[in-house]
Amino acid sequence: MNGLSNFVTVVEAGSFTAGARVLGTTVSAVSKSMARLEHRLEARLFTRSTRAFSLTPEGEAY
């Protein structure tokens, strides 16, 4: 999974669930991909809750 393309898909889709559906994968796989991307960038890209996410300032810039 490509972290950058997954990031863009999730943001455009509006949720991890919708992003996973577009990517044809599981929410868990997308979540892990985002966690790896955040680790590589050493920055939080999302603020997550059980129902939604929002982009952090770093996520908006990225």
Q: How confident is the model at residue 1 (pLDDT cuts 50, 70, 90)?
A: low
pLDDT given for residue 56 in this prediction? 93
* Exposure b/e, 28-52, CB count within 10 A at least 16 = b: eebbebbeebbeeeeeebbeeeeee
Please report, rounded to a whole number, the percentage of residues in the chain having pLDDT higher than 90.
77
pLDDT given for residue 62 in this prediction? 87
Confidence (pTM)? 0.84
**Degrees, nearest 5: CA angle 17-41-56:** 55
* Spatial distance between the Cα atoms of 61 and 59, rounded to a whole number of angstroms: 5
For domain 3-61, give its CATH number from 1.20.120.140, 3.30.70.890, 1.10.10.10, 3.40.50.300.
1.10.10.10
pLDDT tens column, 36-58: 999 999 999 999 877 778 999 99
